[in-house]
Structure 1
Amino acid sequence: MAKVYVSGIIDAPVDKVWAYARDYNGHGEWHPLIAKSDVEDGKPSDQVGCVRNFTTTAGGHLRERLLSFSDLDRSFTYNILVSPMPIENYVATFAVKPITEGNKTFVEWYATFDVGPEDEARIRQQVGQDTFAAGIVALEKAVKAR
């Protein structure tokens, strides 16, 4: 089983970051890899079980189900149902925590998944750096622009 863990610091208060990032379907507003995203069946984006259906700027199509959501813990977990990547059993968590010194936000984004050894390095890069790390940088820009 492959694991990817990325963390970062956003120079903004945790409540401001979470208010923006808590929208499970909001990644289309700030993530540079997302072209278009919708929640299926008109469900709210914070309802456990909702499915976001989206396309990437590279033309890929994904469907992801929200498995858990907590405003108290400022986190959500989701799994991939459909992906162009050669992966299985993908489960990811996004979480933010306060950094009390300096009133900043600590962001964690991590995933586990099964992938063949021939694809592992490429997929770890794609998930870790191209998706998670780039997303944290883009999220900070979006929060600060708000």
Structure 2
Amino acid sequence: MATASAHIEIPASAERVWQLIGGFDSLPDWLPYIPKSELSEGGRVRTLANPSGDAIVERLLSFDDAGRSYSYAILSAPFPVVGYRSTLRVVENGDNARVEWSGQFTPAGVSDEEASRLFRGIYEDGLRALATAFGR
């Protein structure tokens, strides 16, 4: 099993950051790579579209509003992995918010390093996009 993670400090309160990113359907609000998200199964499954129009289907595994985190699994996507599980978390860090995005997965047809590099890049790019929403 391979892993990837990234984090960033945002100059805003954790509550304010969570208000933007804490909804399971909120990726298009802050992640340019995902222009569209549709919920199904009572909000437990989201179908995302990337700029190429490829579908990414994810299932919400856990949601902790008070703890400002949620975990999800990829059900289908154009990524070379299986068994993908990820957590997005916002932690109060003084006057800032620390946003952490991590995942674990089994590479399919690529090395652990290649799969980890792919998702680390996705997380880092996404967190940089989030930071721009807060003037950073």
Which TM-score applies when normalising by structure 2? Answer: 0.91
Between the aligned partners of 1:119 and 1:12, the Cα distance in structure 2 is 37
For 1:16, give the aligned amino acid.
Answer: R
Instruction: Map Cα deviations across residues 77-112 of structure 1 (whole Å, 9 max, x no partner).
Output: 000001111211100000010111xx1001110000
Q: Is the 8 A contact 2:20 2:29 kept in 1?
A: no
Residue in structure 1 matched with residue 84 of structure 2 by the alignment: 90
For 1:34, give the aligned amino acid.
Answer: I
Shift of 1:73: 0.8
Secondary structure, aligned partner of 1:19: helix
Cα RMSD between the aligned structures? 1.8
Q: Is the 8 A contact 2:2 2:115 kept in 1?
A: no
Q: Is the 8 A contact 1:12 1:144 kept in 2?
A: no
Q: 1:71 aligns with which of 44, 65, 70?
A: 65
Between the aligned partners of 2:133 and 2:92, the Cα distance in structure 1 is 18
Shift of 1:68: 0.3
Secondary structure, aligned partner of 1:53: strand
Between the aligned partners of 1:10 and 1:73, the Cα distance in structure 2 is 17
Q: Describe the shift of the 1:124–1:136 C-alpha distance in structure 2 as closer, same or farther (beyond 3 A).
A: same
Secondary structure, aligned partner of 1:7: strand
Between the aligned partners of 1:75 and 1:91, the Cα distance in structure 2 is 13
Q: Describe the shift of the 1:120–1:60 C-alpha distance in structure 2 as closer, same or farther (beyond 3 A).
A: farther
Between the aligned partners of 2:109 and 2:78, the Cα distance in structure 1 is 17
Q: Is the 8 A contact 1:8 1:106 kept in 2?
A: yes
Which TM-score applies when normalising by structure 1? Answer: 0.85
Residue in structure 1 matched with residue 127 of structure 2 by the alignment: 136
Q: 1:110 aligns with which of 102, 105, 129?
A: 102
For 1:106, give the aligned amino acid.
Answer: R
Q: Which runs of 5+ in 1 are unaligned?
A: 45-49
Q: Which runs of 5+ in 2 are unaligned?
A: none
Number of residue-to-residue matches in the alignment: 136
For 2:34, give the aligned amino acid.
Answer: I
Between the aligned partners of 1:36 and 1:99, the Cα distance in structure 2 is 31
